[in-house]
Amino acid sequence: MAHESIVLLGVNHKKTPLEIREKLALNGYEEPLNRLRSLRGLKEYHLLSTCNRVEVLFACEEPEQMRAEVLDLLFAGRVSQEQLERCIYTHCGSEAVRHLFTVAASLDSMIVGEAQILGQLKEAYRHASELKTAGLILNRLLHKAFSTAKRVRTETRIGASAVSISYAAVELGRKIFGDLNGKRAMLVGAGEMAELAAEHLVGQGIAEVVVVNRTLERAVNLAARFKGRAVGLDELVEQLAETDILISSTGATGLVLHKQDVASIMPLRRNRPLFLIDIAVPRDLDPEINTLDNVYLYDIDDLNNVVEMNREQRDKEAIKARRIVEEETLKFMRWLETMEVTPTIVELHAVAESICRAELDKTLSRLSSLGDKERQAIERMASAITAKMLHHPLHYLKSEHICADRQERIAVVRSLFQLSGENGAADEPAA
């Protein structure tokens, strides 16, 4: 009997530079999935393509041959063979399962614990389902990946700790206000830090984002991304009256906001709390602002301390998460091993019952004087003998054995009982 292996091929941000990943990125899912249909050795397959990784997951009977064919079909000519072999990783069997679960649980992401990868994996699976390229094994495997990720989210706090400066800033805002829904945020500066902070703020339900920048055009462009407003730097103080959270990250060489500026607008705010985060180097905001009532000012050192503490906490949670991944990998491999022996078990039962039935029919046809009760007793006895005879072969198939792996054990049983694999019948013994 042929044995199907699970294989995962991929490149990711850890091993492969961006310029190579860009060349290997797949253009959508439908076209490459349909191209893979031409490889007759693939039983079922699934693709994942994100900015940080491209992975091909498949089940086949000839892993080495299919690895070469899949790589050639999807990536030939995009980069040199030498570059591809240097970047590509290959996982088979339990290693492939473990890697998939690790990815789904966001333990292999650039920011460990981020939730985006699970959504990307589900989206990729939707395409494989629609095109019917995932069969019995991969359907179950991918659903187990989703449930493993859910277990990690539920049983650990892997995603609860901010591990980037921008995210830490937003998390501090949540601690002060409790809930950011309906709050107004102002971004001073329109660089990458401001953009990341805006993404996190919008994700937390912020009502409005106002972008303040020396160059109004850049402020307009960033504000448009988040359906916000753009204003010039000379309107900064005026806008503070309606702001709850301010995140400043300009490239200015001096302070852009002084203590007296903030003090002047606090009466207009009726002393509502104002949360200020300065992630610029050198600082944008006057440190003396922190002496004002109901004003909370944090600088980049404060945030770095939060990030470092959270990183330590996240690393502890990652240990728990990896244990969950290991547990779920073992469970799936047990199911897969059961799937491998099931056809042989079914066939063995069918052969034994067929022999038992044939011998019973011969014997009972010569004992016409027996009543129904006696016939039933003989049939029960024959079935019990068959079951007892099969007990040890079945136990040998199902259990671990130090001298032979599962495939070897399956081959031994099939050879001993001359199982043909055709309609559950054994080969006719020689006369």
For the chain, the residue count is 431
Alpha carbon distance 66, 159 (integer Å): 37
Question: Three-state SS for 167?
Answer: helix
Burial of 364 (0-12, 13-18, 19+ CB in 10 A): middle
Q: 359: which residues sit within 8 A by CB, 6+ positions away?
A: 382
Q: Do the beta carbons of residue 275 and residue 246 sit within 8 Å?
A: yes
Active site annotation includes 51:
yes
| CB-CB neighbours of 91 under 10 Å | 18
Alpha carbon distance 370, 138 (integer Å): 54
Q: Which two tokens stand for residue 247?
A: 């995140």
Evaluate the omega torsion of the peptide bond into residue 282 and state whether it is cis, within 30 degrees of 0: yes
Alpha carbon distance 206, 226 (integer Å): 10
Looking at residue 287, the DSSP 8-state letter turns out to be G
Question: Three-state SS for 84?
Answer: helix
Alpha carbon distance 303, 308 (integer Å): 9
**DSSP H/E element including 273:** none
Alpha carbon distance 56, 48 (integer Å): 7
Q: 94: which residues sit within 8 A by CB, 6+ positions away?
A: 329, 333
Q: List, by residue number, the catalytic residues.
A: 51
